Each structure stands twice: as C-alpha cells, then as structure tokens.
Structure 1
C-alpha cells in the first residue's frame, strides 16, 4: 500500500509538472495552431529570471527578506516571458499563421538564438537556484514522504489552470479569443480585432511558460537547454489531450505522468520512457484527435 501511494503521488507530481509546462503550449499550439518550438526557451527565460532575482536579493537585499525573491519571481517571470512572446508574435509569428511548417522552422531558429544568447550572458554550465526556506523539507505521513517543492508545483499548476479557465470562459476578452479561434472570419465580421486577440493570446501562453520555468528551478539546476528537455513532453500532453481542448491537456498531463511513473517503477527510466511513447502511439491510432475533441459547425 505504501509503494502504491508513493507511486500515485509521484505520478501526480510529474503530471502537475507536465501540466504547468504544457499550459502555455495548449494556448499557443492548441488554440492558435502555431507550432512554437521556442516554447522551451520561454521556459528557460522564466528560470533565468528566477536566478537573476535570487542574485539581486543576495547582493542588495537584507538576508531576512531572501525568501521573498521566489514569490516575486513568479509574476516577474510571467511578465518577462510574455514580453518576449509579444516580441516574437509582432516580429515573426504574425506572418506565419496558417503556415505550420514555416512556423516550426522559424521558431526552431528562434530557440537556437535564445539558447546561444543565454550561453553568452550566463555561461554554458548549469547554475543553481536555492529554494526558499518555506519550501525546504516535506511532509511525512507514516513511511511516506511528500516533498514541499512538488506539493507547491501541484498547487501552482492548479492555480494557473483556474486562472486560464476564468479568463477564457468568464471574461469578455476570453470569449473574443474563443470566437477568433473557432471562426476567425465571422469574428472579424462582428467587429472583433483579431490582431489584438492574437497578440494577447500569444503573450498569455508565453507568460505561463515563464511561470513553468520559475517552478522548475525548485527541482534542480538550470541551464540554456532546460526547455529542450521538456518541449517534447509538452507537445505530447497537448496532442494526447486534444488540440484546442484546455481540459484535455489536464487529462493528458496527469495520464502521462501516472503511466510514466508506473512504467518506471516496473522497469527503469529509459524503458519507462519507451513504453510511454508506445502507449501514446497506440492511443493516437485509436483516437487521432486526442481525448477531448472540439465540436464545431464551421466547415474546414
């Protein structure tokens, strides 16, 4: 029973990490149909923002306020990553809508550029970010141990998911976004500024990638290629959940996290990853459109 509970928690923890990483991609790829290969580098930007905030607090802020650096890093990482996303959208992405292969190649080039820029500024070796004191340790329940950082990431993922839901389904701007994504021409006829919607939506997706990068600093060292390690998993979550389905991404993240943990428990990390890929391939043969399909009356 203990092994089962630990395995379930590990699966839930991995699923929350995948969800936090994939939320931004679910917006830019799932809703906007833009294959953004630079999504991992937006995650990297959020991680390095946290690293810079840590150094600012170490060098210029009294020690008793050190823990505040991480709390401030979350919104700042979101704003900085969103600003980079807006710059990408204005200078590049806006010319590549409905051209998925071109957007893939262009954003891949941007990802290489951002990686090299990070190496130039921060150096090639990985750097460490010290966790705040309130996230050190964990909760012991009998013989089980639940680490605070993973519990925090789970809570942060749920808060971000709730924020995205409230924005897209409970606000006027969110309704405009969904209208543009479902039928751009009709939304334009009704007076919706599709250019503004595209810019804001891409900025939101990029901002959540920055939040994911901030959270990943709790799990280990960060480097210029930190985003590359997660970009494939993020695309898997979005595709399995269903392109354009926000809550499909939730089911995909926790499903992949659970099965990946189970396979690793039975075998090892390498074989576990192989089995999860085989499972996803088999699943997509059965449901090519993913777990959740978006019904529409528009003719494609």
Structure 2
C-alpha cells in the first residue's frame, strides 16, 4: 500500500467522521438549546430525531405510491416537514408535561425517560419493529472523486451542507432575533426578564419546541447514512449529551467543537480497532478531560 493510498484512506475515514459529526452536531444543537439554555434533561430527545427520520420515510413512501415523478424532489420538503412535525410534538410535550417540572431536573429526567419508552412503542406499533429506509433521490446517490482513489459520498456532502445551514440559522436566531434576545434574557435572569415584560413561559415553550424541531432535522440527515427503527434515536442520546456536556452546557460554539472532536476521534479510532474499543477510547478521553475541566471546554457564566 502506497503513501497516497494511506492518505486517501485516512481522508475518507476522516470524512466518515464528518458525517457522524453532522448528525451529532444537529442532535447536540437541539439538546444545547433545551438542556444548556433551559436546564431540562430531555431523555426523549432521541425520539424527536426518530420522528424526523420516519417523516422522511413517510414522504418517500407517499411519493413512490402516489406521485412517482416527485421522488426526485420530495427530500427538501420532507426535511422541512420533519422540523415542523418534531416542533409540533415538542410544543405539545412542553405544554402537557415539561412546564410542570421546571427546576426539578430529576423529575424531568424520569418523565422524559418514560415519554421516550412510550414514543418507541408508538413507533413500533405504527411502523413495525423492523428498520426501514426511504428511497433517496438519485442526486443524493453516488460519490465525488476529487482525486484518483479518493471517493467522497454525495449524501455526506449534502448532510454537511444541511448542518452548516442549520447551525448558522440557530446562531443568527439566538443572537440577532427577538426570540434569541428573550432566551438570553431569560437564561441570564428569569425574574428580571419577567419584570421587563418578557413572557418567559412562552419563551420556554418555543425554545423547547425549536430544540425538538432541530432534532427532527437531525433525523432527516440520519436517513441518508443509516436505516431507521423504533430505537434509532436512543442510540444517539448518550453521544448527544456527551457533546453538550463536554463542550459546555450553555455554549453553542462548544457544542460544535465537541461534536467535531468526538466524531473524528471515534471515526479514526474505528479504522485501527473495533467499534466498541473506539467508543471506550473516546469516552475515556472525555472523562479524563472533564476531570480537569468539569465545566466543559467552553463554559458560559450565567446568573440563575
């Protein structure tokens, strides 16, 4: 094996890490908004990702069955629908459950864990226990070969582009919109925010729903690299919490850096060892770093 071959393999493995980074970042962004900004431990966050993934599958099935000509065009609309469906379910969950449990982290953990199990059973009853995959448009298939021996999947490039778009949108919304101003004011000092006329309950509900909607987009991205089952989202929830905790609970920039570091470490390690050992190595590195910096890589000081 030549040096060029080794470099190409390393680059392709690194790009595989970027695909994992994209899904982790989208999951982490939604969780950073819910956990980092609101202090709610949402153990059902993975199931909102599954809602997005099943939305893509449903749109694919409907397009194939009733409008075959739309198979090549349905995907962008399905992504928007994945956000809206997850957003709507998140809004309802906040109104029915979460709003009664603020400042009670253990109760939110138990309640959302129960919600996670209930949602998994709903998925199992609705779509079956077997994993399903949507029919992707032709323009998402194949690979791009910038050099001989180096093949980069087009669906990975699309997921990265989608992730960059969503990340930029979240950052702009958080620091340039009225919603973002209300969120930052509520996080900094809830009592003072109420005193200035900000409806913090409505801000909480909208923030929770947006975080769930972003998880839905993560599910849409996930369908391009894997199949979807009732428990698909739960496989990512631990990694998503690691991303948020390691980066700093209230730092979106920390979430980006943390997702990149975890995904690349795990992907490159899997080339030299088994997947389980790569996971152990990644977790061990995170634990060691958190021992020296328990507040995360980029801690944000806020008043509670």
In 2: Cα distance, 1:278 partner to 1:128 partner: 33
- Return the offset for 1:175: 0.6
In 1: Cα distance, 2:194 partner to 2:300 partner: 21
- Tell whether 2:98 aligns with 1:97: no
- Return the offset for 1:91: 0.4
Question: Could you tell me which residue of structure 2 aligns to residue 33 of structure 1?
Answer: 39
- Return the offset for 1:48: 0.9
Per mean C-alpha deviation after superposition, the further-off stretch among 248-257 and 65-74 is 65-74
In 1: Cα distance, 2:190 partner to 2:117 partner: 32
Deviations 1:147-205 (A, max 9, x none): 01111111111100000011110112211111101211111111110011001101100
Select which of 281, 286, 302 maps to 1:280. 286
Structure 2 unaligned blocks of 5 or more: 1-6
Question: Could you tell me which residue of structure 2 aligns to residue 129 of structure 1?
Answer: 134
Deviations 1:192-231 (A, max 9, x none): 1001100110110010011111111111221100101111
In 1: Cα distance, 2:177 partner to 2:244 partner: 24
In 2: Cα distance, 1:105 partner to 1:133 partner: 43
Question: Could you tell me which residue of structure 2 aligns to residue 114 of structure 1?
Answer: 119
Are the structure 2 counterparts of residues 18 and 170 from structure 1 closer, same or farther at C-alpha, using a change threshold of 3 Å?
same
Alignment of 1:142-153 (within 5 A): 142-153=148-159
What RMSD in Å do the two structures reach over aligned CA positions? 1.1
SS at match of 1:139: strand
Structure 1 unaligned blocks of 5 or more: none
- Return the offset for 1:70: 1.1
In 1: Cα distance, 2:289 partner to 2:22 partner: 21
- Return the offset for 1:12: 2.3
The normalised TM-score by structure 1 is 0.96
In 2: Cα distance, 1:21 partner to 1:43 partner: 8
Question: Could you tell me which residue of structure 1 aligns to residue 277 of structure 2?
Answer: 271
Q: Tell me if structure 1 keeps the 8 A contact 2:61–2:134.
A: no
In 2: Cα distance, 1:275 partner to 1:144 partner: 27
Question: Could you tell me which residue of structure 2 aligns to residue 78 of structure 1?
Answer: 83
Question: Could you tell me which residue of structure 1 aligns to residue 240 of structure 2?
Answer: 234
- Return the offset for 1:15: 1.4
- Return the offset for 1:64: 2.5
Deviations 1:237-276 (A, max 9, x none): 0001100111110000001011112221222211100100
Question: Could you tell me which residue of structure 2 aligns to residue 176 of structure 1?
Answer: 182
In 1: Cα distance, 2:273 partner to 2:66 partner: 48
Question: Could you tell me which residue of structure 1 aligns to residue 220 of structure 2?
Answer: 214
Deviations 1:21-51 (A, max 9, x none): 2111111111111000010110111111111
The normalised TM-score by structure 2 is 0.95
Question: Could you tell me which residue of structure 2 aligns to residue 68 of structure 1?
Answer: 73
- Return the offset for 1:100: 0.6
In 2: Cα distance, 1:96 partner to 1:12 partner: 36
Q: Tell me if structure 1 keeps the 8 A contact 2:101–2:108.
A: yes
Question: Could you tell me which residue of structure 2 aligns to residue 42 of structure 1?
Answer: 48
